[in-house]
Amino acid sequence: MRIAVLGGTGEIGEGFALHWAEKHHIRIGSRKVDKAEAAAERFNETLAIFGRKGDIQGFDNRTAAEEADVIILTIPYEHVSGVIDFVRPVLSDQNIVSPVVPMTRGEYFEYNTPARGSAAQEIQAMLPEGMNVVAAFHTVASRRLCSLDPAFQCDVMICGDDRRSKEVIIDLTNEIECLRPLDVGPLALASTIESLTPLLLNIAVLNHLKDPSIKVL
């Protein structure tokens, strides 16, 4: 498949790219094409260091999304509407994945509930009719993911209303050895998953833990 990681120049984008590049075509997107190209070159170099093969390419967000089968929105909540507006002309039947979390940091990290209930539900409302959002990857520690640490094991809570779209993301998650997908129901439950991110960040800060994740036992 062609997987576009929009805003994918950081660690979480790198983690997805490194794990999926051997089986899929990875398209790193950014507002600035030169930034995306530089990130793609860096990720390809890391692949070579780990003895893995793949071809990761960098594009502006619209070009990355245009020919993709799956689009992952690794962008801050406050930039979501702008990115969706920019790529909307090329959206048709892609599977959209939202790990987006609306939160603020004061004394603690806090989840800010959007008017529609969750970031994923807001994104669903922004998309052309017939497209579906899957909420996933909110509890993945990005630095552990991109380190390819074999000891890292994490569960990924996944929710969505369209069974086919959800199965695509569950299958992709299963391809990453350190991740286990868990179906948690419809998109209406996305706020529950999204709120786990500020919870984990608070746990990390208050207990001096590095990159905590969630594993259901």
* Domains within the chain, CATH numbers bracketed: 2-207 (3.40.50.720)
Which distant-in-sequence residues (6+ apart) come within 8 Å of 106 by Cβ? none
CB atoms within 10 A of CB 46: 18
Is 26:44 a contact under the CB 8 Å cutoff?
no
Give residue 38's pLDDT.
97
pLDDT at 26 over 90: yes
> Does the pLDDT value for residue 199 go beyond 90?
yes
CA angle at 6 for the pair 78 and 55, rounded to the nearest 5°: 160
**What's the average model confidence in pLDDT over 126-152?**
90
- Decide if pLDDT at 148 tops 90: no
What mean pLDDT do residues 14-23 have? 94
Q: Is the pLDDT of residue 150 over 80?
A: no
The stretch 196-216 carries a mean pLDDT of 95
